[in-house]
Amino acid sequence: MNSYYLWTIGCQMNIADSERLGAALEQMGIQQVEKAADADVIVLNSCVVRQGAEDKVASNLAWMAPLKKKQPERIVALMGCMVGPNSDDLVRRFPYVDVFMRPQQFEPLLEMVGERTGVDWEGCVGPLTPNRPDVTCHVPIIHGCDMMCTFCIIPYRRGRQVSRPVEDVALEVETLASRGVKEVTLLGQTVDAYGHDLPDQPNLADLFARLNEIGGIERIRFLTSHPKFMTQEIIQAVADLPKVCEHINLPVQAGDDEILDEMRRQYSRADYIDLVGRIRRAMPDVALNTDIIVGFPGETEEQFQQTLDLLAKLRLDKVHCASYSTRPGTIASRTMDDAVPEDEKTSRRQRVDSLQEQIQTEINAKLVGSYVEILVEGRKRGKWQGRTRSHKLVFFEDEAYHQGEMATVKIERSSPWSLQGSLAVEAKLLNPRGDD
Ligand code: SF4
């Protein structure tokens, strides 16, 4: 048993889980391979937030059946949100899968691999930190979620909120810094609720302060925030601490109060507008992203217009818009009728996207001629790419090697999605935060 193949779909939490499971397998002497057919251990890390993702997992699982038949001693594992507390149905549908693991539940697989290889996994697997991290790395700080948004399956699959202690996170970030990581993104479904479940109740601002001291780390990001938990103390910490980036992902989901109530989001439109105002007063150059769901059960055209109106009024930096789809097991699936026709949902999504494209075109165009500081993450299509503190994607061309460097770029062209520029030979940092 020498090799493993790991396929991941879904959010950053899943990517972080896969990185950590990969680290554990490598500590047991098993190396990653590119093709499932070459692997002794096959792991699919699943997502069920949208039907499309779940269908993709099921179709990939079907591909694993002949591989298992050909080499029965091979281990096939299914991990992630597709695995609920009861996996009976999955066992019936995919009888060739050897092990089912809920998110972050790595032990069943490690135990099985340990038994097959004669390795005591508990003795050889240390802290689960990615072995070969990129310049930027995700660090989960909360697992699970205590909210009960009616459309969401995550609390049922990932369980209740469990925060990692401050020193545990700090130790991981120190290890990542020693492996060349320059930027960490702290992850949680409601990242700003960090610490509420810990005995001494540290909060996200306390964690920021501790991580801000760690040498080698240049930037700290965090997602996803929930408007209900974004306190003034956290806002002030983002504004004050030099390494914490002024970039907040703050899903509003809808602009109409009745729909927000039906979603059980626990804030109103006015609360959200007030919160955005307070954040912008503390950090005029902040970048704010949001998520929107269109076509929620019962959403009328007038209610949808409230969402469009909110986006036009707030002019946020980025919007991720999705059409509502019923997820079995959610409150909405049991109590609401998914009545908005699919073509209407598509039309609403297109109207959000088109408005937002116009807003982003205008925001990014204002950056042309300015100098921004980016962390260079790597190369794409022959160009170096990196991000500003406000998470704007910047490309530049240069012969020299720049990965992992902080570079100053003069912006020459813009699109709604990215910025193009050239390396400023004489660093002329007009605005270190990357906004106008
Ligand atoms: S806050 Fe709501 S949408 Fe986010 S993970 Fe929790 S239940 Fe789901």
Confidence bin at 433 (pLDDT 50/70/90): very low
C-alpha gyration radius of the chain:
23
Pocket flag, ligand 1, residue 152 (CB < 6 Å): yes
Confidence bin at 429 (pLDDT 50/70/90): very low
Residue nearest to atom 5 of ligand 1 (CA): 189
Give yes or no for residue 47 having a pLDDT over 70. yes
User: Which pLDDT belongs to residue 417?
Assistant: 96
Choose the weakest-confidence range: 30-34, 48-52, 206-210, 382-386. Answer: 48-52
Give yes or no for residue 434 having a pLDDT over 80. no
The atom number, within ligand 1, closest to the CA of 152 reads: 8
SS3 (DSSP) at 113: helix
102: Cβ contacts below 8 Å, ≥ 6 apart:
79, 80, 83, 84, 85, 157, 158, 159
Specify the CATH number for the domain of residue 231: 3.80.30.20
**Total Cβ atoms within 10 A of residue 401:** 10
Mean pLDDT of the chain: 92
Give yes or no for residue 432 having a pLDDT over 50. no
Give yes or no for residue 388 having a pLDDT over 70. yes
Residue 434 in any domain: the answer is no
Q: Cβ(424)–Cβ(432) under 8 Å?
A: no
The residue among 103 and 77 whose pLDDT is bigger is 77
Residue 81 in any domain: the answer is yes
* Final residue of a structural domain among 71, 94, 124: 124
- Considering the domain architecture, whether residues 196 and 242 belong to the same structural domain is answered as yes
Question: pLDDT per residue over 312-369, tens digit each?
Answer: 999 999 999 999 999 888 999 999 999 999 999 999 999 999 999 999 999 999 999 9
User: Which pLDDT belongs to residue 124?
Assistant: 67
Give yes or no for residue 279 having a pLDDT over 70. yes
| CA 145 to ligand 1 centroid distance, Å | 6
Specify the CATH number for the domain of residue 385: 2.40.50.140
Residue 130 in any domain: the answer is no
User: Which pLDDT belongs to residue 127?
Assistant: 64
* Final residue of a structural domain among 321, 340, 365: 365
Residue 11 in any domain: the answer is yes
User: Can you tell me the distance from the alpha carbon of 190 to that of 180, in angstroms, rounded to the nearest whole number?
Assistant: 28
Q: Which domain holds residue 399?
A: 371-423
Pocket flag, ligand 1, residue 145 (CB < 6 Å): yes
Pocket flag, ligand 1, residue 108 (CB < 6 Å): no
Pocket flag, ligand 1, residue 260 (CB < 6 Å): no
Specify the CATH number for the domain of residue 51: 3.40.50.12160
